[in-house]
Structure 1
Amino acid sequence: MPKSKVRKKDSSTPVTDRRTPVKAKALGPSHPIYVIVMLAMMLIGLLWLVVNYLASDKIPFMADLGGWNFAVGFGFMIIGLLMTMKWR
């Protein structure tokens, strides 16, 4: 059976990146109001779901929404979670 050829490694030349480096903008921290709104959205969503479970039959507009209360509550929480991606 023939012996396989051994590949030579050329480690003398460094690998060059073909892309030109782009400097990122130096952005400061987020405004404190942004953090408050982000946390408020997540808390509103949580409270909406808790109130839905505890007293949705006593609150007329929540009773009319029915199953859409889950969409409203989770919608608020998702908005808050999406805001965390822009938080610095």
Structure 2
Amino acid sequence: MNIQGAAVPESKTRRKNNKPRGGSDAQTYDKPLPKWYKPVMFGLMILGLIWIMVYYISQTVLPIPMIGGWNIVIGFGLAMVGFFMTTGWR
């Protein structure tokens, strides 16, 4: 009852849906990852970090001198591909 004495209806309880979403596509989550997935994922993250470190340590001369500041974009791009791969890692 509320303050004025009128009955307040109770909310209904929700039932959990135990069915997998996506039907047959849900079976793809059960498949193990290929053996190359983790080494490639970590390798790209480390390669991107090393690429940026070499660029700064060599005072913008290496790894590819002709493209200048785009070396940072390449390094971050490599690292980001590795980080995006972590979303699929099980």
What is the TM-score of this pair, normalised by structure 2? 0.69
Q: Which segments of 5 or more consecutive residues in structure 1 lack a partner in the other structure?
A: none
Aligned match of 1:74: 76
User: How far is 1:58 from its partner?
Assistant: 4.0
User: How far is 1:44 from its partner?
Assistant: 0.7
- Contact preservation (8 Å) 1:38, 1:80: yes
Alignment of 1:36-75 (within 5 A): 36-59=39-62, 62-75=64-77
Mapped to 2, the partners of 1:36 and 1:5 lie a distance apart of 65
Aligned match of 2:9: 8
User: How far is 1:86 from its partner?
Assistant: 1.0
Post-superposition Cα deviations, 1:47-73, rounded to whole Å, max 9, x if no partner, equal: 1001000115444x6232111111100
Give 1 or 2 for the bigger CA radius of gyration. Answer: 1
Q: Which segments of 5 or more consecutive residues in structure 2 lack a partner in the other structure?
A: none
- Contact preservation (8 Å) 2:55, 2:61: no
Taking a change above 3 Å as real, the CA distance of residues 52 and 10 of structure 1, as seen in their structure-2 partners, is closer
RMSD (CA atoms): 2.9
Which residue identity is paired with 2:35? P
Equivalences, count:
83
What is the TM-score of this pair, normalised by structure 1? 0.70
